[in-house]
Structures are given as structure tokens and as C-alpha cells.
Structure 1
């Protein structure tokens, strides 16, 4: 019998993602445990994502309930509401207004209620949001958050996932934290949105949307908590590194959003609404429902420059 010669696999310098215990902290250091009197909070994981009962989003929201909603979003990063069947676009604008002004996506079709983007996907218009990303990171002041409501959902599939980017930062090896602490990265829409445009369309948008730079590690505008702020479609390179060094480091950093312990997954139902902190999280819309149809309406909330 002929002998079989096997060649050992080359050793890796380091694993792309470590395994074992994760540090999962729900609130920022020094942040008090909130006391909710108007909301019933049901966590979906210990640190990210909670369903909220006790509020009808189609009705005016009182000051105390509004304060609790803002506090709950800081604590849980993503809030989910069920059975909000009277929730119309004007209610959605009012809810988003608890955090700030609406910020239209420059690439979404215009029409309908001003500030509300309708995302209708089916077999002919397949979704392209199935990549981990942070909305509008290609802007100088990225969106603070988003409000998304289900208009039409498939019988199965079409879930959305969110990842806690504070957890992603907290669990980086200390040597990697030290390396990225003072780095900045370029964020640009051209490799993603621009790939679906003509050269003339890219040039027209480029005048108002130049590439921007953000820190690789940002401070949350409200809590000051450190967050890993790079994402696959919009972060194109790290300033001051060679092309190879930048690519290798970005490849390692963007993988962190894919770790399940940092994530929450939501199954949409008729009347479902979600609000998320767009700086503290990334999200991923699963495109597994075709040829069924999925229609959502979204409002992005205008943000501030990051530091």
C-alpha cells in the first residue's frame, strides 16, 4: 500500500477571533441603573436588545415616558415594540423626534412622507443590506439612530441582527486596543453605493459627499463609552498605514461584529417597530426571504461629528 504523505497546515500568527469568556457590559462605566416606571422592559440578551411594553407609539408620548425611552436606548442599544398597528409615518416622525431631526439617506428614493424612506424588496429588487454596517458612517456627522417599522413582512425570514460595538471594543486584546486607540479611518460611500451608479452619477453625488475620516475608536456622544467604529461597506482604509497594513487591520476589526455573543436577532411581525443607536451598534438585514416581499419604512436621526 502506498503511504500517504500529509503536509501540515501553515501555522497562523494569531487567530482572527479569540474564543472563551466574553466581557459583556450593558451600561457605560459610572452610568446608574435606570428605574423604569412607564415602560416594561423584557431583555432579549443580557446586554443588547430589549422588547418594550407599556407604550402605544401611535399616541403622544409624555415627557416622563420619553425620558425613559431615551434612557432605555442608551442602556439596551436597540429597543423593539410589538403590535403597534396604529403606528403611521407621522407617529414614526414624532418618535424619532424624541432624539433629533430626521436625516434622509441621499441614495434612497424620494417620495411619500418627507424624512421617511420606504425600503421595498422582492425577487426583482433584492436587498443589499445583508452586510454588517453602520448607517451613514460616510457622512461627517453620522446618523445618531434609526426608527424602522414593518409594513409588509414575509411568512418566514427577513430577520435583522444588531451587534454591540462597545462589546466588540471591550473584548479586543489589550495590544490591539493600544494599536488602534489613536488611529483614524476613511469612510466612503463610493465602493458600495457608487458601484450601482454611472460615473456621472458618482461625480454628481461626490460634490456634496466627499470621503470623511472618523476615529477607529469613538466616544459615544451621550455616554462617553468607547466603541469600535469601522464597518465593511463604508470604511475603506486606515490613515497612516500602508495599503497592506490597513487591509489586514481592517479585516481583523470588521470581523468583530460577527461574534454571536455581541449580537441580538429580531424576528419581525406585523406591527413591529425597532429603534437603534446607530453609533453604538451595527446591523445586518438577512436576505433569505426571496421571492417573498419585505417592505419596511425607516427614519434616520441626524447625528453629530464623532470624537
Structure 2
């Protein structure tokens, strides 16, 4: 009997010891296990340089979907379609993006234009198709943008990466700011900024690292008609200089592959498919209003930035879960990463597919941009 009791005691002791050690053992195993997406880690080559971007004719695939008898038929297999907010964002389950044909992708483009933001869950097949598939996917929606400063997977400069872990960060972060919230429309300094954008996380923290989105259609509608009429007459300079200087200072990888540019865009733009008007300014890249004195320009822009920041009723928040793919229309939304997970030391690794679209169309006919 004593032998049996001793055996059970030893077994219990071993089991408890295993439980106590398991987090440490699991952490070691995780560290030793090769990272599944190591081929998609940020790559920076100081010798890599690209010529200036040239203008091109953009044909929006959403226009083709307008002629379809049921432009939402790509959602026919969905098990759940939930609007995140009345005016921005829809979450979809049951639709495999990797299986969409050309017609389905056209319809997707139209739906993104109408809702601004689509969140697709359970997209493991899409994410695991790899970089060649990502490029083919993106080219359906426009010419792929090559970012001048961000990291990209080696051999795939058309893929923009965001990356942060316990030892490094390749995000554009301003450490002297009291907040990591920085509303922006991606690379709005380009002559032809992006349209439909696809983004997903390959690795994510246990909690945190959400992304905020806001509808620039809705932010514009909140303003008084006389003020909107005035804004339609204005243009603003969008600049990539500060972003380039940030990299030249040795941060984010320290590479500038293409000389920074500045371009003039309307403060209010018109969507080529839906015809909706959207505010088109952002803190990160808009620098000044053309033709106004410095104080006048600063007052108007700071009012608009403050309006965007505070308009929670125009915003949606995406909480990431594994195998989530998010698409947004960069022409009518702005977004911000939330870098609230830094102390955890966990990895956040994302990839963005960024097709360019048309040069922003002024809401006011005849507005001069040159």
C-alpha cells in the first residue's frame, strides 16, 4: 500500500512540476521554432534605388461591377455579413477571398467603394498563398505601388511591410508624441495615391495592435454646407519629405529607394465609381493649403485634423484575429495603427498590397491642380 501511495505522490509531483515549467518550456520551444513567415520579413538594401513614378491610366474595376445584375453576388456564400457601423465597415464570414474570380473581385471593389472598409475573417488560404499570389491579387485593382522607405520581402518590393517586436520596429513612429494615433491616407503624397488596399497580419500580439478607420465621406457631411463649398475651392500640398528624412536619420531601416515627392490634391475629392465626395487631408502628409497665408492654412487644417480625430461617430475599430484580411478604399477613408502592445515584446508583422488609383478628382469641376 505504501509503495502505491509513494508512486502516486511521485506522479503528482511530476505533473505539478510540468505545469509550473510549461510556460517557460513553451516559450523556449516558440523561440527555437523557425518563424513560419521568415520569407516575408522586412528587407532593406541601401543599394536599391528606383526612378520616379510615372503617370498611368487607371481603370477602376468597381465600374465594371456596376453593370452586373447583382453586384453583391460575391457575398452569396457568406455565413455572416455584419455592418460595423451604419456608415463605415462590414465584417464578412464564409467568403473565401482566394477563390474569387475576376467578376467577384470587381464586385468586391465596388462594395469596398460603397462601404469604405471590409473585414474578412478566416482567410488562411489567402494569407498562405504567398507573395506571388499577393501581387497577382493586387494587380487586378491597379498598378502596384513600391514604397520609397518601408521594408519589403526580399525580391518583392511591391509588398509593404509593418513590423515590430521586442528588439526592433520598422514602423513610422514619433516617439516624442503623447499618442501613437496618427490618422493618414496611405502615401497621399503620390500623384496617383492608392485606391483599394488589402492588409493582413502574419503575426500579432495576444491583445492590442488594433487599427482605427474613419470615413472621410462622413467627416465631410458633418460640416456645414457653406464651409464645404469653400473647402471645394481649395487644394493642398501633400509631402513625402518628412517620411524620407525619418528614414535617412537611420530609423525604420534607413533606406530611401526613391526621392520624396510633393503633390497638390483637392481638399475635397470625388470618388470615380460612387460619385461620393470625401474630405482629403491627413495629419501625416498634408502640409499646407495652396494660396492661403500660413496662419490661414494652419487654422483650417488644424480644425479639420481635430474634427477627424474627435469624430468617433465616423470611426470603426478593427480588432485583429488570426487569418483576418482587411480591405479599405484609401480614397475615402483614413486610418491609424494603435501601438499599445510595445511592453509585451510580442511580434506584430503585417503585409499591405497597395494598388494605385487615379489622380484625385476634385469635387468642384474645373479646380486647377497644377
- Same fold per superposition (TM over 0.5): yes
Q: In 2, distance between residues paired with 1:282 and 1:148?
A: 14
Larger mean Cα displacement after TM superposition, 120-129 or 293-302: 120-129
Distance 1:184 1:122 in 2: 39
2:172 to 111, 115, 128: 128
Query: Relative contact order (alpha carbons < 8 A, sep ≥ 6): 1 or 2 greater?
Result: 1
Match of 2:73 among 37, 50, 56: 37
User: Partners in 2 of 1:206 and 1:119 — Cα distance?
Assistant: 17
1:62 aligns with 2:101: yes
- In terms of fraction of residues, the more helix-rich structure is 2
SS at match of 2:125: coil
Contact 2:241–2:261 under 8 Å retained in 1? no
CA contact (8 A) 1:58 1:86 kept: yes
Moved more, 91-100 or 221-230: 91-100
CA separation of 1:205 and 1:62: change in aligned 2, threshold 3 A: closer
Q: Please list every run of 5 or more consecutive structure 1 residues that lacks an aligned counterpart in the other structure.
A: 1-30
Change (3 A) 1:243 1:125: farther
What's the TM-score once normalised by structure 1's chain length?
Answer: 0.81
Question: Which of 132, 149, 173 is residue 200 of structure 2 equivalent to?
Answer: 149
Q: Which residue number in structure 2 is paired with residue 101 of structure 1?
A: 143
| Alignment partner of 1:92 is 2:134 | yes
CA contact (8 A) 1:57 1:95 kept: no
Query: Which of the pair has more CA radius of gyration?
Result: 2
- Matched residue SS, 1:187: strand
The corresponding residue for 1:71 is: 110
Aligned length: 272
Q: Residues 63, 299 of structure 1: CA spacing in aligned structure 2 closer, same or farther, 3 A cutoff? A: closer
Q: Distance in 2 between matches of 1:254 and 1:176?
A: 15
Partner residue of 1:272 out of 324, 335, 351: 324
CA contact (8 A) 2:184 2:335 kept: yes
Q: TM-score, normalization: structure 2?
A: 0.68
Give, in angstroms, the shift of residue 157 of structure 1: 0.1
Q: 1:100 to 1:35 in 2, by over 3 A?
A: closer
Residue 301 of structure 1: SS of its match in structure 2?
coil
CA RMSD of aligned residues (A): 2.5
Distance (whole Å) between structure 1 residues aligned to residue 257 and residue 232 of structure 2 = 30
Instruction: Indicate the residue corresponding to 1:302 in structure 2.
Output: 356
Name the SS of the counterpart of 2:73 in structure 1.
coil
**Cα distance 1:240–1:114, how it changes in 2: closer, same or farther (>3 A)?**
closer
